[in-house]
A and B are shown apart, each in its own frame.
Chain A
Amino acid sequence: MSGTALLELEDVGISFGGLRAVDGLSFHVDEGQIVGLIGPNGAGKTTVFNMVTGVYRPTDGRIRFQGRDITGRSPHVVARQGVMRTFQTIRLFAGMSVLENVLAGQHLRTRQLWWQGLLATPGQRREEAELLARTHATLERLGLSDVAGEIATSLPYGVQRRVELARTLVADPSLLILDEPAAGLNDRESAALNDTIREIRDSGVTVLLVEHDMNVVMNVTDSIVVINFGRKIAEGTPSVIQNDPAVIEAYLGQDDDEDDEAAGGLEA
């Protein structure tokens, strides 16, 4: 299936007051791929994600998903197209169990109406049982079954990241957007994350991720888009990006002595 553009950004830009956070950005994510969006701190990566998912409305340009224009649509409308995301700062529902958190991911496939919920009609109860079964299957898949009844926000950071991931996966997204999924993970957890991301891709979900952990970026992505100061400075496969002088400069500055180190750092 790879080759068709699932997500396309065309000349997208956004200004916050006088600040041009993203400018003239164009790239596309092909179906069945894992695409990395990288760049130094403050480059505008999360802003791009926020525009794609409808949290911010771009000031210029077009964003298309499966050929449909989704520019400036509300987050819940974008979600309905099959775009799910995680957050850089984990956003779980505090005070609710892991199970309840992951159930939230099935909101869009739930058919029951509000009055059926109030009256607990037989159809509603049947659907609840199905939702629970599917949620438990996803928890099992991500190794979260043991903590299903725990308050999500009381768990260790790495586990919370997996809960957030489970919440998006249970929605069966077409495109999964991960905002720094490896942040705060230890080496073992981030290695496991690599496998998880590949498994997700192999199950037919396209993945777009922002990540600082080069171990993850270089090992799992099929292609990488590099931005700096809101503009695209490079695009290509991991091996091309690792040797791109503009990228090395953006990350480590222009000092000639550090070029070797820079390349080494990106390969790590």
Chain B
Amino acid sequence: MAAGERRASLALARRAAGPVLWLAGLFVPVLLGGSWVSIMAIFAIYAVVALSQDIVLGRAGMYDMGHAVPFGVGAYVTAILNTTFHWPILATWPVAIVVAAVIGAALAAPIVKLRGDYLLVATIGFNIIFVLAMGNDVLGLTGGPDGIFGVGVPHVLGRALSSQGALFYLDWLVLALVLLMMRNLERSRVGRVFRYLKEDELAATTLGVDARYYKILAFAIGAGLAGAAGTLFAVQLASVSPGSFVFTESVTLFAIVLVGGQASIPGVLLGTALMFVVPQVFRGLAQYRYFVFGIAMVLVMVLRPQGIWPRGRGRP
């Protein structure tokens, strides 16, 4: 009985841990303030991107090493519509999501039949093309190597979210929504099908799964969420430039999922924190960020190939 109660309270603690941590995050602007507000805002944005990478990589099992592309598409769509066409930021948001998702699906369509490493190389190619295109001022809209400056802030109910604190709350709210969606994904057909395809595509297809459709869908959903984060990113930096979406950014996102734990929400959040928050704490050592993360990647892959915080077992 005591053991049962302990197990029940442990399960409760695990369920409550996420919401409690999220609520605690709400006090960051009040209690910590200063640079911590923007650090946590960046964390929230990259957590959304990493979770969206996890849909494609950790769940559907496709080696997408070009995930900075949809993230960048979302950021550029918002920046262009806002600075050149003077759309309000919030109006650019759905466009950023849809354009990123459509581009994600269109790029995925010809390559989803590729396996593992071949798909990975193809996605690297897309990333290089994207950065080159943005850097070359496509259609005179993307601003060349320096990118686009002067992206505005969102207005909610007539009030400008101009302070770092206000933007943080927006990012934090979006993170919560995306986390809810990721949780829902676990309990839905689409989320399960992604994992069936990762584990055994042939078995899944003989059960009636249209592998091609679901693989493209995984890319589209992942890209749409990354695009949503792109809007927040453009607003956070008030600018966009090709340098934020280069191949190494994709590698970082890829590594966050592998090191944190594939298809594990806490794992991916932990990976994001290790990559984007911890280096800020040790400011003097920030230049060693990739060095430390590189070593961590090697160690995790050798010692704990399922990631630091692997996925728990399936629901009973």
Say if the beta carbon of B206 comes within 8 Å of chain A: yes
Within 8 A of B (CB), among A44-98: 53, 55, 74-76, 78-80, 84-85, 87, 91-97
Let me know if B281 is at the binding interface, CB within 8 A. no
Task: Give chain B nearest CB distance to A76 CB in angstroms.
Answer: 5
The interface stretch among B5-13, B190-198, B282-290 is B190-198
B188 at the A interface (CB under 8 A): yes
Tell me the residues in window 189-230 of chain B with beta carbons closer than 8 Å to chain A beta carbons.
189-193, 195-196, 199-200, 202-211, 217, 221
**A128–B187 CB distance below 8 A:** yes
Q: Is the CB of B316 within 8 A of A97?
A: yes
Which of A11-19, A108-116, A245-253 lies at the interface with chain B? A108-116
A55 and B209 contacting across the interface, CB-CB below 8 Å? no
Given contacts A99-B315, A114-B221, A149-B313, A107 and B189 within 8 Å (CB-CB): yes
Given A119-B184, A149-B313, answer yes or no on A74-B205 (Cβ-Cβ < 8 Å). Answer: yes
Whole-angstrom distance between the alpha carbons of A112 and B189 in the complex? 7
Query: Which of A76, A93, A116, A120 makes the CB contact (< 8 A) with B211?
Result: A76
- In the assembled complex, the Cα of A97 lies from the Cα of B249 at a distance in Å of 34
User: A105 to B189, Cβ gap below 8 A?
Assistant: no
- Residue of A75, A91, A97, A100 ringed by the most chain B CB atoms within 10 A: A75
Query: Is the Cβ of B199 less than 8 Å from the Cβ of A94?
Result: yes
Q: Does A231 contact B (CB under 8 A)?
A: no
* A143 is an interface residue with CB less than 8 A from chain B: no
B-side contacts of A55, CB under 8 Å = 202, 206
Question: Judging by beta carbons under 8 Å apart, are B195 and A76 in contact?
Answer: no
Q: Counting CB contacts under 8 A, is B140 at the interface?
A: no
Point out the residue from B184, B200, B208 that lies within 8 Å of A93, measured CB to CB: B200
Docked pose: A53 CA to B203 CA in angstroms: 11
* B316 cross-chain contacts in A, Cβ below 8 A: 97, 99, 148-149
User: How distant is the Cα of A53 from the Cα of B180 in the complex, in angstroms?
Assistant: 38
| Residue A174 interfacial (CB < 8 Å) | no
Contacts of A99 in B (CB 8 A): 314-316
Complex formed: what's the CA distance from A85 to B206 in Å? Answer: 7
Give min CB distance, A99 to chain B, whole Å: 7
Closest to A117 in B: B188
Find out whether the CB atom of A94 lies under 8 angstroms from the CB atom of B200: yes
Residues of B within 8 A of A (CB-CB), count = 32
How close is B57's CB to chain A, nearest CB, in angstroms? 15
Contact check, A118 vs B181: say whether CB atoms are below 8 A apart.
Answer: yes
Is A104 engaged at the interface, CB distance under 8 Å to the other chain? Answer: yes
Knowing A84-B207, A114-B217, the reply to whether A104 touches B315 (Cβ < 8 A) is no
* Cβ contacts under 8 Å, B313 to chain A: 97, 149, 151
B26 at the interface (CB under 8 A from A): no
The reply to whether A96 and B199 form a contact with Cβ atoms under 8 Å apart is yes
Q: Does A103 contact B (CB under 8 A)?
A: yes
Determine if B208 and A114 form an interchain contact, defined as CB atoms under 8 angstroms apart: no
- A210 near B: Cβ within 8 Å? no
Known: A104-B196, A118-B184, A171-B208. A93 touches B203 (CB 8 A): yes
- Cβ of B213 to closest chain A Cβ, rounded Å: 9
User: B205 and A75: CB pair below 8 A?
Assistant: yes
Q: Are B189 and A110 in contact (CB under 8 A)?
A: yes
A167 within 8 A of B: yes
In the assembled complex, B185 has its CB within 8 A of some CB on chain A = yes
Residue contact A84 to B188, C-beta cutoff 8 Å = no
Cross-chain contact of A107 among B184, B193, B202 (Cβ < 8 A): B193
Interface centre among B187, B195, B314 (most CB of A within 10 A): B314
Please give me the residue from chain B that is nearest to A151 by CB atom: B313
Give the residue name and chain of the B residue nearest to A95 (CB): B199
Beta-carbon nearest neighbor of A87 in chain B: B203
Let me know if A138 is at the binding interface, CB within 8 A.
Answer: no
| A94 CA to B263 CA, complexed, in Å | 14
Q: Which of A99, A107, A148, A171 has the most CB of B within 10 A?
A: A107
> CB-nearest residue of chain A relative to B306?
A95
Give the distance to chain A from B210, nearest Cβ to Cβ, in Å: 5
Query: Given A75-B206, A108-B207, does the pair A128, B200 have CB atoms closer than 8 Å?
Result: no
Q: Is A124 on the interface with B (CB-CB < 8 A)?
A: yes
Residue interface bits A140-160, CB-to-B below 8 A is 1, else 0? 000000001101000000000
Contact B199–A76 (Cβ < 8 Å): no
**Contact B203 A124, beta carbon cutoff 8 Å:** no
Known contacts A75-B202, A93-B199, A149-B316: does B207 contact A128 (CB below 8 Å)? no
Q: Do B208 and A79 touch (CB < 8 A)? A: yes
Measured in the bound complex, the distance between the Cα atoms of B188 and A55 in whole Å is 27
Which residues of B have CB within 8 Å of A78?
206
Chain B residues near A100: list those with CB within 8 A: 192, 195, 314-315
Interface residues of B (CB under 8 A from A): 180-181, 184-185, 187-193, 195-196, 199-200, 202-211, 217, 221, 311, 313-316
The chain A residues found within 8 Å of chain B, CB to CB, are 53, 55, 74-76, 78-80, 84-85, 87, 91-97, 99-100, 103-105, 107-108, 110, 112, 114, 116-120, 124-125, 128, 148-149, 151, 167-168, 171
Instruction: Give 6 nearest A-B pairs by CB, closest first.
Output: A117-B188, A97-B314, A149-B316, A79-B208, A93-B199, A108-B208
15 new A-B contacts at CB < 8 Å, known A105-B207, A114-B189: A76-B211, A79-B208, A91-B200, A93-B196, A95-B199, A97-B316, A107-B193, A107-B208, A110-B189, A114-B217, A117-B189, A118-B185, A118-B221, A128-B187, A151-B314
